[in-house]
Amino acid sequence: MKKTVATSTGNVYGTDVNGFAKEKSDWEVEKNANRNKQRSAWLNLLENGNDQLADILFANNIGDQHYTKQANRKLGPIKSSMNHALDEFFETENPREIIVEDLTWSKWNSSKNPGVNRRLSSWMKGYLDERSSIKLSSITARSPM
The C-alpha angle 19, 21, 24, rounded to 5 degrees, equals: 110
CA distance 122 to 110: 17
Look at residue 88 in the predicted model and tell me its pLDDT. 92
Q: pLDDT of the chain along its 145 residues, tens only?
A: 678 888 888 899 988 888 888 888 888 888 888 888 888 888 999 999 999 988 888 877 766 777 888 888 988 998 999 899 999 998 888 887 788 777 666 666 667 677 766 666 666 777 888 888 888 887 766 666 5
Q: How far apart are CA 77 and CA 74, in angstroms?
A: 7
Domain layout of the chain by residue ranges:
5-142
Phi, psi of 94 (to 5 degrees): 50, 60
